Amino acid sequence: MRRRTFLKLVSAYGASALAPRPLWAAVKDVEQYFIFVHAAGGWDVTLWADPRNERKGLVEPASTDNTDTAALTRWKTAALDGDAETFEILAPSDVPMRFGPGIGDLYDLRDRLTVVNGLAMNTVSHPDGTCFSATGRHLAGGRAPASSVDVAIANELGTGQLLPDVSIRFPSAYVGESLDRRAIPLRVANAGTIAKALARSGAYFNDDDRAQITALLTDEAHALARHSTFPETFERIAAQETALPDLLDERLKSAMTQKALQAAYPGVPLQAAFAVDAIKRNLVRCVGIAIGGLDTHNQNYKNHARTLQELFGTIATMVKLLDAARLSDRTHILVVSDFCRTPQINLAGGRDHYPNNSALVISPRFRRGRTFGATDAEQLLPAGDKPLSPPDLLATFLHAFGIEPRRYLRDGEVVPEMLA
C-alpha cells in the first residue's frame, strides 16, 4: 500500500472513531416495551393536568353545578361562589406539579409522571386532532399523511417481536414504502378478537396439517416473488405466513382469550390486561389502546371527571402490574387525546372542543415529577410565542429511544429539558 493511501485510511478511521455517536446509536439495542393510550373524545385538562378552580376570563371551573362528585376519590371541596362548590387543587409538596381530581389513583404515582400542558392543536376536529396527536401531522385528504408513533417505534425496535404492534382502537397509521412490513399494526376492535382470530377447531385438522399448509403457502409466495416484477408484496405475504405458526401456538391462544385474561387480571379492563400480559410474555413491542367516553358536550359532562378517574385508574393499575413484573423500568407509556375541552360551560351544561391539549408520559427516559408547557390564565390557550405541539412531544419521545425523529416526523423539535 502506498504511504499516501495508508495515511488517508488511517485518518478516515480516526475521524469516524472520534466523531460523537448519536444517542440513538447507543441505546437502540436495549429491549423496551411501549404502551400508547388514546383518551378518545377529547379530555377536560382543567380536571387533571392543568387544574382550574376559579372563574377567570373564559374559565368556568368544574363545580357541584356541573359535575357529579359522588364517586370522585380525589375531590376535596373548595368554595366557589353562591351555593356552588368547586374542588381543591392537589398540590403535593414532593413534586412541583398540580393536579385536578380527575387524576384519581395515578396521583399516588405522581413522582413518575411527566405532564405536558399547552400543546397547540390548531384543530377542534376529532379525526384531525387524533391524527395530529398520534402522527404529528394533520389529516391530508382525510388520511394520515405520516406514520403514527407506535408504528415508528415498532419499525425501529420491534420487527423482531412476534407482534411488533398491536393496536386495539388506537389511531395507528402505517404510511410509507420504506418501513418494514412487519411494523404494520394489527388493528382490532377489542383484545378478545386476537384470540378468536387465532383459534382453530381441533375437530378436523391438527397442528401438523396447518403447519404443512402454511409451509406450502410460504413456499408458493417465495416462488411467485422470484418471478414477479414487484416481489415485495409476495415476500410480505411470505413473511406473514412464516409468523403464523408461532401465533397459532396453543399456549399463546389459550392465554389470550377474553376468559383467560379476565381470570388472570380480575377487575382490570380487558385491553389493559392484554397489554400487560403481552408485554410480560415478551410477545409485543408496542400495544396501543383507546379508552373513550370523554366527548361530553351536554349533561354527560357531569361524568367527565369520573371517566378521567377511571382512565387514570387503569393506567395506574397497568403501572403497578408492570412494577410487580419488574418491567416498569423498560415499559414506556404515552397518553394522548384528541384535544381538550372548552374552558367555558356551554348552554347544554357540557364543554365543546378546544384547540389546546395536554399529554402524559410515564417513562424513566423522561424527567419525572415535572410539568412542561403552560397555558394562559384566562383563555386556557397555549402560552408563549412558540408553544409546544404534538410533533415536539413525539420527536422528543422518539429521540428518547435512540430514533432519529426526522425519519418519521416532518415537524417537531426535540425538547431536551424533558429528558432524564
Residues in the site for other proteins, rule: CB under 8 A?
163, 169, 174, 181, 184-190, 192-194, 196-206, 208-209, 212-213, 216-217, 219-221, 223-224, 227-230, 232-234, 236-238, 240-241, 243-244, 247-248
Write phi, then psi, for 11 (nearest 5 degrees). Answer: -65, -35
Residue number with CB closer to other proteins (202 or 267): 202
Contact 134, 121 (CB under 8 A): no
Residue number with CB closer to other proteins (9 or 213): 213
CB 202 to other proteins: min, Å: 8
CB 42 to other proteins: min, Å: 14
Residue number with CB closer to other proteins (232 or 250): 232
The Cα–Cα gap between 61 and 54 comes to 6
The Cα–Cα gap between 221 and 218 comes to 5
The Cα–Cα gap between 244 and 240 comes to 7
Element housing 237 (H / E)? helix 232-247
The single-letter code of the amino acid at 281 is R
CA–CA distance from 221 to each of 179, 180, 238 (Å)? 20, 18, 5
Contact 319, 362 (CB under 8 A): yes
CB 307 to other proteins: min, Å: 17
CB 218 to other proteins: min, Å: 9
Other CB atoms within 10 Å distance of the CB of residue 25:
11
Residue number with CB closer to other proteins (73 or 254): 254
HSE-CB of 377 using CA atoms within 13 angstroms: 3
Residue number with CB closer to other proteins (190 or 379): 190
CB 161 to other proteins: min, Å: 11
Q: How many helices (H) and strands (E) does the chain have?
A: 12, 12
CB 48 to other proteins: min, Å: 24
The single-letter code of the amino acid at 46 is T
Residue number with CB closer to other proteins (185 or 343): 185
Residue number with CB closer to other proteins (114 or 148): 148
CB 13 to other proteins: min, Å: 41
What DSSP state is assigned to residue 22? P
CB 343 to other proteins: min, Å: 27
Beta bridge partners of 85: 79
Residue number with CB closer to other proteins (300 or 346): 300
Contact 119, 388 (CB under 8 A): yes
What is the C-alpha end-to-end distance of the chain, expressed in Å?
Answer: 48
CB 342 to other proteins: min, Å: 22
Residue number with CB closer to other proteins (30 or 213): 213
Non-local (6+) Cβ contacts of 253 within 8 A are: 195, 198, 199, 200
